[in-house]
Amino acid sequence: VAPDSVEPVTANFLTPPIDPTAAASLAGRGLRFALLDASDPAAFGAWFQGMTRGFHGSTVSADTLPKHLEGMAWRRMAGVWDDSAADPATPVATASSWIADLTVPGERSVPAWAISTITVAPTHRRRGIARDMLEAELRTAAKLGVPVAMLTVSEATIYARYGFAPSVFVADWKIDTRKLKWAGRTPSGRVQLVPIAAIRDDGGQALLERVRLTTPGQMQFDGHLWTRLFKTPDSEESADVRVARYDDDNGIAQGFAIYRIARDPRDVAVANVDYLLAATDDAYAALWRYLLELDLVDTVVAKLRPVAEPILWQITDARAAAKTAESDHLWTRILDVKAALEARRYSAPGHFVLEIADPLAFAAGRYLLDITDDGTATVTPSEEPADLTMNVNELSALYLGGISVVTLVQAGRIAELTPGAAVAADTSFRSAVTPWLSIWF
């Protein structure tokens, strides 16, 4: 399955033609697998409605389609069409992808193949259409030399079979503000309420990029993935959106929180934090303190947050903050072991022979991972006996430094053949910064 030739990673993700292997496989079942021509608004409209239907969403009104097209036209969009169906214009399956920088440990980025909008119509499910589309995405990415694929998932049961594993977990928090007092630092800058546009259109993106580069698991994003954080302009939801910004002593914005106040069934106000981004510890403390001290509010709910929050150590009653959910969020899939592992930095030197199994062949092999004192790594093919053996899934889970090698050995997911190798590899792979991805895509 591995590609015969690899093109440089700078290649445009829109250029490669549809994967011929998957197209032939689907053609054998009377289905047409093709790229969507984004310059054809009618074809896009049918694709978008098919995709939305696939997620059990409502039919989108025709006058909003141009806006959706604008938000997605830059992506590589593919579909599967059944020309024998009653409505042959609407695809029976959809996929889209692009290349985005993903942050890896050591404040570095790796180009990653982002996959999104995977749907198969209920009339065509369980015939292997998703498998053909996913394998096509992986082959196309590998052919372009992209070392990692990534996605956020609707269910945790679908993507392991293609070599993906969760590498970033996220948490939902519910904080009872009646029970606590602020016990953290008191920054000298100020929190200001600002219009949505002050962050959305002016400066917010630059802040995001600064935070992204320091946090493994965060990805580069803009366009509608960015603007939707602020809700659709003029919608009912957007009327409730408040934006608080933290400016440091020099008047430079260092963080912001997007939140909405709602009333729960007991008519008690709840502050829902839709997004909180802080480039400095001061910004983090000041914004959280602002939210926790809102008058008339009993509860602060924040979803899609890092699994480790400093806030627990900044309030007088740590039990007032409950982690109400913790679950897998970003799934990664290594395609090129050498490029992927050399792109990140490591927390400790080490010398590990890793035997990687991969049913789709992209990552299969035995590799020597040699990490120097400064945390840089060289990866070479190896004939030495393996210290650790695993599937590409486990290597992909470890990649961002948030999952323990020891835990995966205990779980029987990694075999430790050299005693002590798991603890040593754990020390090297672990990221001091908890991986986090702050959006769905």
Ligand X SMILES: CC(C)(COP(=O)(O)OP(=O)(O)OC[C@H]1O[C@@H](n2cnc3c(N)ncnc32)[C@H](O)[C@@H]1OP(=O)(O)O)[C@@H](O)C(=O)NCCC(=O)NCCS
Contacts of 105 (CB under 8 A, 6+ apart): 216, 344, 345, 346, 347, 400, 401, 431, 433
Question: Cβ 380 to ligand X, closest distance in Å?
Answer: 33
Decide whether 64 or 154 has the Cβ nearer to ligand X.
Answer: 154
Which residue number is nearest to ligand X in terms of Cβ? 130
Question: Of 97 and 428, which CB lies nearer to ligand X in the complex structure?
Answer: 97
3-state secondary structure of 378: strand
Nearest distance from C-beta of residue 141 to ligand X, angstroms: 17
Q: Which of 9, 18, 60, 153 binds ligand X (CB under 6 A)?
A: 153
Least Å from the CB of residue 85 to ligand X: 15
CB of 116 to ligand X, least distance (A): 8
- Contacts (Cβ under 8 Å, ≥6 apart) of 329: 152, 166, 168, 169, 170, 304, 437
> Is the Cβ–Cβ distance between 277 and 256 less than 8 Å?
yes
Return the CA Rg of the chain.
23
Helix/strand/coil percent split, the chain, to 5: 30, 30, 40
226/440 with CB nearer ligand X = 440
Name which of 308, 322, 347 is nearest 436 in CA terms: 308
Q: How far is the CB of 134 from ligand X (least distance, A)?
A: 8
Question: Please, where are the H alpha helices in 191-304?
Answer: 196-200, 204-214, 223-227, 236-239, 281-292
Identity at 274, one-letter amino acid code = D
Minimum separation from the CB atom of position 117 to ligand X (A): 8
Could you say whether residue 161 binds ligand X (CB under 6 A)?
A: yes
- Our CB check for ligand X shows the closer of 16 and 128 to be 128
Q: Residue 394 Cβ, how far from ligand X at the closest point, in Å?
A: 19
User: Taking CB under 6 A as the criterion, which residues in 102-141 touch ligand X?
Assistant: 118-120, 125-131
Q: Is 339 in the site for ligand X (CB under 6 A)?
A: no
Q: Tell which one of 12, 61, 157, 186 touches ligand X (CB under 6 A).
A: 157
Please tell me the distance from the alpha carbon of residue 244 to that of residue 258, in angstroms, as a whole number.
7
Of the candidate spans 154-162, 262-270, 359-367, 426-434, the one that interacts with ligand X by CB under 6 A turns out to be 154-162
Instruction: Decide: 414 and 422 in contact? Cβ < 8 Å.
Output: yes
d(CA 431, CA 441): 23
155 binds ligand X (CB under 6 A): yes
Amino acid at 385: P
Binding mask 162-181 for ligand X (x = CB under 6 A): --------------------
Chain centre distance of CA 388: 27
Closer Cβ to ligand X, 27 or 262, answer by number: 27
- Partnered with residue 234 across adjacent β-strands are none
Helix axes 65-72, 41-54, angle to 10 degrees: 90
- Please tell me whether residue 277 binds ligand X under the rule CB under 6 A: no
Q: Which is nearer to ligand X, 127 or 242 (CB)?
A: 127
Identify which of residues 112 and 279 has a Cβ nearer to ligand X in the complex. 112
Cβ distance to ligand X smaller for residue 118 or 341: 118
Alpha helices in 240-350 (DSSP H): 281-292, 337-343
For ligand X, the closer of residues 126 and 266 by Cβ is 126
Q: Taking each helix axis from N to C terminus, what angle separates 20-27 and 129-143, rounded to the nearest 10 degrees? A: 160
The nearer residue to ligand X, 118 or 353, going by C-beta atoms, is 118
Kindly tell me which residue out of 21, 64, 154, 235 binds ligand X, with binding defined by CB under 6 A.
154
How far lies 206's CA from each of 67, 212, 228, in Å? 24, 10, 17
Q: How far is the CB of 115 from ligand X (least distance, A)?
A: 8
| Site size with ligand X, rule: CB under 6 A | 18
Alpha helices in 60-179 (DSSP H): 65-72, 129-143
In this chain, which of 50, 54, 79, 187 binds ligand X, going by CB under 6 A? 54
158 binds ligand X (CB under 6 A): yes
Choose between 125 and 430: whose C-beta lies nearer to ligand X: 125
For residues 342-381, which are near ligand X according to CB under 6 A? none
Angle at 146 between CA 212 and CA 77, to 5 degrees: 90
CB of 34 to ligand X, least distance (A): 17
Among 24, 29, 55, 359, binds ligand X (CB under 6 A): 55
Quote the least distance from Cβ 331 to ligand X, whole Å: 9
Residues lying near ligand X in the complex (CB under 6 A) = 54-55, 118-120, 125-131, 153-155, 157-158, 161
